Chains A and B, each alone.
Chain A
Amino acid sequence: MSRTIIIGGGPAGMSAAVEIARSGGDALIIDSNPRLGGQYWRHGENAQFSHDGARFFALQDEIDREPKIEVRAGTQVWRAAHLDGVSSLWLNDGTAVTSDSLLIATGAYDRSLPFPGWDLPGSMTAGGAQAILKASGALLGRSVFIAGTGPFLLPVAALLVEAGVKVLGVLEANRVNGWLNHLGAVDLSKMKDAARYFKVLAGAKVPIRMGYAIIEARGNGHIEEVVIAKVDRNFAVKPGTMEVHKCDAIATGWGFTPDLTIAHSLGVSTDVHPIDRSVIIHVDAFQETSQRGVFAAGESTGVGGVDLALIEGRVAGIAIAVQRGLITTIDAKKRSVGLAQERSKIRKFADALLSVYKIREGWRSWINPQTILCRCEEVTFHQLRNVIHDLGANDVRTAKLLSRSGMGLCQGRVCGRIVADVVAGEIGIQATDDELRGIHNRPIAHPISLQTLADQGN
């Protein structure tokens, strides 16, 4: 088998590369960012904001020193195809690479929910607020609300507080009791992390409000104030609980959406997660997908955080090494001791978190006819309702085609799930599994210069 190509140089991709190299094999890591590390390890020049840097630097050092691992950073896969056991990837530098040994480690990105004003400058995702701070110390604002659901809100809030931002509140839409018990159930280090975040927030007197959400952002050309409200168990606004607060930016986080564009192009089987109905790559115990030679690891097989990604990367790397005949199954077993159990434990915990921090459909009551649902094409709720009720669109795909939702630059990455849920809600059904899968159908995975495409033919 040929050199393994690893798409995505985050925790999963890096740990897989290291396992393959330790087995004597070669690998090519392709990543769109200028540096390895993925979303989790975003290191700019400001190392003081690096999160859990030791593990990253260890992997980075090993990769740097290993001649068998080639890294093409700042490189995007714009098209992927799989035929007769061989995967082909076309890269935005005009080259193409092929292999019968592939690892998909494309990670995940923030899931977003719309509300009036979510498109105003100053409104960022929680991941975005963290990313710009980690990469270069940039602050999204001076006085900020953090809202959404999920344990990710805490570290983002703590990071902003430590960077000198006035965090006016952390609004967790779900009512979560016994937080620390949940986290402690897995391991003490998680509990310690959480305790540290709470300490930082308490020290800055940041109110943490359960069962609250930002239901509107307002301002003249940028965010100047928000309307927050108490929400019930289904995320519907409780009447009479609205409050208006001045702020200059917000960071909202609603969990993560696995990035399945390339997986979809390669044609590997996917599952619809029973808890949050996100679409994830189906893998077996060795992280192999439905196509022989194609493996997947990390958030794209199910959101579970950095620890899970690292383990899945190792399991995949070892399994790839076996498949390529680089090591024996006996060697593999020795190196895998404990990994499967650890993986299982973390997955269970991650699923438990998904149940607790679920997105509940009452968010649809936050939007009004003028609310933008597709940001790129500026499609409002009113326009989407129109194509359904006036033009007769009765499935997600047709509603998108007639309204232009999802046809803009982001190709539905931000709005895809939103539009699917709104359309289904309007028609009075649930989005089907295939409709949810269809959101990730992007044969052109990334915009590619026409000149590069033309030159390829030469």
Chain B
Amino acid sequence: MPPYAGPSAARPGDVAGVLRLLVYLVLAVVLMVLDHRGGWLRAARAQAEVAVQPLWWLAGLPSRAGTALREDAVTRTQLMRDNTVLRNALLVSGARNARLQAAAAENARLRGLLASAERGRLDVQLAAILDIDLDPTRQRLVLDAGSGNGVRIGQAVIDAGGLMGQVIATTPTTATVLLITDPDHAVPAVVARSGVRLMVYGSGRTDMLRAADVPLSADVRAGDVLLTSGMGGRFPPGFAIGTVGTLQPDDSRAFLEGQVTPAAQLDRGRDVLLLRGYKPVPAQAAASAMPLQPPPQAAVVPPAPQAARAGTEPAR
């Protein structure tokens, strides 16, 4: 061993160093276990995350600046092309909307005949995604709107395609969204075609969900569209969750397990919609009103690009 390498025998400082390491390791383990279990640490964590927000804002800056730059740099021809495409899209949506409105009117009439409970109005709020990469093993988003903008824990988050997730934590200026693809997330679902009820779990990947414990005899096929069932009261009924891909027997061979492609664009959009003012309907009304409702977001008015809020008319 070269002379500069230092003595190899244990020095008194070494033992102290190891002891200090052990103390820190134990501390870290205690923190991890407490955080894993949830509980009071969650509240402390929420407080601490308020202090962290300027960092999130800073980290999102390059992406925001890049977007602004790109938008400034688009050429006239590009704008004209976009304009044509959007005009066409608007026409198609308008036509679709008109048809849906007829269906909604009919629905309301039939509902009146049945004298069943009217569904609550659906209000949405537009929120921008703060473009930062959090821990890649967890499927979460940070929104650029917080409790100061009226975002509350438990709100459902959707985009044009369908359900994205729910708000799990808020600070005055940001909110954290747990995506439906997170392994910790589960959504009560219903098959649009047959009305079979399922649970859809996250898989940890952005492009796949898992429908677990599907009975072998259940009327579920590949290509079926899954909607939220409204059971549990967390999510309003009728939002698209995804499309069933393949169905395979699970490990126990007593049930099927389906791969579901999410309907929402979960990887990285720019804005999301937060559902406001959804009051879970009473259980018996939910049970009668559950199957086969047109997705309410069909009537969402395209909101102004930068507006923080956009009140919209419900589909009824």
Chain B associates with chain A: no
Binding site for B on A (CB under 8 A): none
